Amino acid sequence: EGQLLESGGALVQPGGSLRLSCAASGFTFGSYAMSWVRQAPGKGLEWVATVSPTGRASYADSVKGRFTISRDNSKNSMSVHMNSLRAEDTAVYYCAKVLEQWLVQGAFDIWGQGTMVTVAS
Amino acid sequence: QLVLTQSPSASASLGASVKLTCTLSSGHTRYAIAWHQKQPEKGPRFLMKVNSDGSHNKGDGVPDRFSGSSSGAERYLTISSLQSEDEADYYCQTWSTDVSWIFGGGTKLTVL
C-alpha cells in the first residue's frame, strides 16, 4: 500500500521562503502525477500544484509565480519551493498521488498526513 | 466555470444511512468526481471515484457501507449503518482539462 510523508513545515515571516518535501513509498513513483493540496485553518481543501511524471508543472492562480513544484523520480520524492510567502498561505500542506498511471488528471487516491506552514511575523 | 457545490452540514443517527450530495456546475454534468473523508488532525482519505454513469471505484480498505451513485449533475456518497467514526468532513473533488483540480466546500457530517 502506498504511503506519502511530508516534511519541512515551519513558522516563516511574510515575504520569506520555505521548501516542503514529500517522500513516497509502496508504489512506482515515477509513473504517477503528484500534487500539493492545502487546508487553511477552518477552511476547505485547495489544490496548489501538480507535477506530471515527466516533470511538467501546473499551478493554482493563487500561487503561480511564487511556488515551484518539482520531483526526483530516482529518490521517490517531490517538493515545493515557496517564495514570497503571505499570511494567506498559512495552512496544512498535503501531498497527494493521482490515481491513474501516466495521467495528469484524475482523483487523488493516496494522501500524506500533512505538514503545517505558518506565515506570521 | 467548473464548480462543485456541497451542503455545509448533514446529520444522521448512529446505525442509520445518510446520502451526501455533490452538484456539478452547468455544462459539466458528465464529469467524474472523487469523494474524500477528512477527520481532524488526519490527512484526507480517498473513498471512491464516481463516474457520470454511477459506476464507482473504491479506495483500498473502504468499507462496503460506503457507496457512490450519480444522477444528472449530482454525485452521491451514501454511508449506511453509520458509525461514530464516520463523523468527519466529506469533500468531493473533480479535475478539468486545463490540468487543475477543484474541491467542493465540504460537508460536515454529524453522527447523532
In this predicted structure, what is the pLDDT of residue B37?
98
Local confidence band at B69 (pLDDT 50, 70, 90 cut-offs) = very high
Q: Does B104 touch chain A (CB under 8 A)?
A: yes
Which pLDDT tens digit goes with each residue over B77-106?
Answer: 999 999 999 999 999 999 988 879 999 999
Taking contacts as CB-CB distances below 8 angstroms, the residues of chain B near A116 are none
In this predicted structure, what is the pLDDT of residue A2?
95
Q: Does B105 touch chain A (CB under 8 A)?
A: yes
Interface test with B, best of A6, A105, A110, A115 (most B CBs within 10 A): A105
Interface test with B, best of A102, A108, A113, A116 (most B CBs within 10 A): A108
In this predicted structure, what is the pLDDT of residue A119?
98
Record: contact B46-A113, CB cut-off 8 A: no
Phi, psi of B17 (to 5 degrees): -115, 155
Place of cell 473533480: B94
Record: contact A47-B103, CB cut-off 8 A: yes
Question: Mean pLDDT across the stretch A61-88?
Answer: 98
In this predicted structure, what is the pLDDT of residue B84?
96
- Nearest CA to A114 among B59, B53, B45? B45
- Nearest CA to A47 among B103, B23, B41, B25? B103
Mean pLDDT of chain A: 97
Which pLDDT tens digit goes with each residue over B38-64?
Answer: 999 999 999 999 999 999 999 999 999
d(CA A30, CA A17): 27
Nearest CA in chain B to A100: B49
In this predicted structure, what is the pLDDT of residue A104?
87
Which pLDDT tens digit goes with each residue over A92-111?
Answer: 999 999 999 998 889 999 99
Taking contacts as CB-CB distances below 8 angstroms, the residues of chain A near B100 are 47, 58, 60
* Separation in Å, CA of B89 to nearest CA in chain A: 9
- What lies within 8 Å, CB to CB, of A28 at 6+ separation is A101
In this predicted structure, what is the pLDDT of residue A73?
97
In this predicted structure, what is the pLDDT of residue B97?
80
Name residue B9's beta-bridge partners: B108
Q: Does B38 touch chain A (CB under 8 A)?
A: yes
Residues of A with CB under 8 A from a CB of B: 1, 35, 37, 39, 44-47, 50, 58, 60, 94, 96, 99, 104-114
